[in-house]
Amino acid sequence: MLVEEGGVTVEVPGESGGGEGADDGVFFNPTQELNRDVTVATLAAYREREPRATTYLDAMAASGIRGVRAAANGWDATLADLDPDAVELARANLARNGLDGEVVERNVNSLLYDDDRFFDIVDVDPFGTPIPFADAAFANARNLVCITATDTAPLCGAHFESGVRKYGAVPRNTEYHAEMGLRVLLSALARTAARYDVGVTPVLSHVSDHYVRTYLDLSHRATDANSAIDELGYVYHCQQCLHREHEDGLIADPRDECPHCGGDQVLSAGPLWLGPAHDEAFVASVREQVTDEMGTAKRARKLLDTVEGELHEPTHFDQHRLYRQWSEPAIGMDEFLDELTDAGLAASRTHFGGTTFKTDGTLADVEAAVR
C-alpha cells in the first residue's frame, strides 16, 4: 500500500496486524511516525549547527521511509539493509519521489568498517537493542549518531539479567523506569564511544511509546571522551520512602540504610548517565523545524516544549505516587509546582508522564514544601 508521510509517498508492506517485528517481511511501523518526524526536524536543526554535515546513513532501511524523508530534505542519503526485498523497495521509493540516493544490500557493521565509506550522520534504528551496532557507528561516524532502542524492559530493569548483559549496567525497575532506561542506554553508549576516543554529548533524548531515542553529538578527542565518562555514576533509591540520591564515579558506594527514613531497602543502579540528556537551545531549534505537513506536528511540538523545559536532575518523581505514599489526595500539578517554586526549589514537568516532575530538592525538601 502507499503511505504519505512528511511530504513523500512511499510503498510499504500491508498491515501485519501485530506489533513491531511481528512478521519476517519488510517491516513498516506506522506508530513510529513521531520518531521519524522528530528525526527530520533534528536533521534540519543539526544542519544549521554543523553546515559541513551532508551525508546521512539510514542503517536499517526496511521500506526506506526514514532515508527517503532525509533525502527529500536535502541529505546525501545512503539506505542499507540486509534483506534484498527491503533493498528493492527502498530503491523504488527513492525513485517514486524523484530522489537521488544510494541503496546497498549490506550489513551496516560491514558497511561502516569499509575504509572507503564515511558518514557525517549515522542513524541506527533496529528492532531491539542497538548495542551490536554501536561500536561501528561511533568508530566511523563524523558528527552525529542517532540511536533508537526498543528493548525497554531490559533497559528499565523489568528484565534485569538481560539489561545487565546487554548494557553492562545494573538497571532498577523504579517509578521512574523510563528515565532509568534512557540513562542506562546513554551510559552504555558513552562507554562504547570512549573506546574509540570519541566523546558524546546528548543534544536531544526522549522516551515515547515503547522506545528510547537519543541524538549524540560527537567529538573526536580523547579528552572529551574522558569528560563523557565523568558524567557517569550511580543512583541510590529507597524502595520504602522513595528517597533517592546520586553520586558521580564508576565505583558504587551502596547505602546500608536510607538517610530519609532509615529503611534498609536501598537499591543501587548504575553506572548511569547522570549528565544532561538534552541541550535546551538545540531542542528549541528542533521545534522550530517541525512543519505542519508532519503528521505528528502537534504532538512533536508538545514533546519538544516539555523536553526543553526539563531540569537536568538524573531522576524524576511521580506526584501521584508520592501522594499515595503519603496517603493523601493529590493536588493539581500547577499548584504543586507553584508550591515547590514558592519554597525556593527549582521544578519542572517532564515528558515521561503527565504527573511527573523534576526538582533540585530532596524528597525531604519536597515534603516540607507541599505538606
pLDDT in tens, 169-189: 999 999 999 999 999 999 999
pTM metric for this prediction:
0.95
Residue 19 has pLDDT above 80, yes or no: no
DSSP string, 269-308: EEEEE-S-SS-HHHHHHHHHT--TTSTTHHHHHHHHHHHH
Cell numbers standing for residue 233: 555514576
The reported pLDDT for the residue numbered 29 is 84
Q: Which whole number is the average pLDDT over 76-96?
A: 97
The Cβ of residue 38 has, within 10 Å, a number of other Cβ atoms equal to 27
Residue 21 has pLDDT above 70, yes or no: no
DSSP 8-class letter at 170:
B
pLDDT band at 31 (very low <50, low <70, confident <90, very high): confident
d(CA 353, CA 371): 22
- Write down the mean pLDDT value for the chain: 95
- Looking up cell 529503611, which residue turns up? 263
The reported pLDDT for the residue numbered 15 is 54
Cell numbers standing for residue 150: 526498543
CA 225 to chain centre: 19
The reported pLDDT for the residue numbered 232 is 98
Q: Are 333 and 349 in contact (CB under 8 A)?
A: yes
Residue 30 has pLDDT above 90, yes or no: no
What is the percent of the chain where pLDDT is above 70?
96
Q: For the ranges 28-37, 241-250, 329-338, which has the lowest average pLDDT?
A: 28-37
Domains and CATH numbers, the chain: 2-309 (3.40.50.150), 317-370 (3.30.56.70)
State the pairing for strand pair 317-318/141-149.
unpaired
Q: Which whole number is the average pLDDT over 280-285?
A: 98
Q: Which sign, positive or negative, has the C-alpha torsion 234, 157, 240, 368?
A: positive
The reported pLDDT for the residue numbered 241 is 97
pLDDT band at 192 (very low <50, low <70, confident <90, very high): very high
d(CA 147, CA 137): 10
Q: Which whole number is the average pLDDT over 199-221?
A: 97
Q: Which whole number is the average pLDDT over 39-44?
A: 98
CA 172 to chain centre: 18
DSSP string, 21-62: T-SSS----GGGHHHHHHHHHHHHHHHHH-TT--EEEESS-T
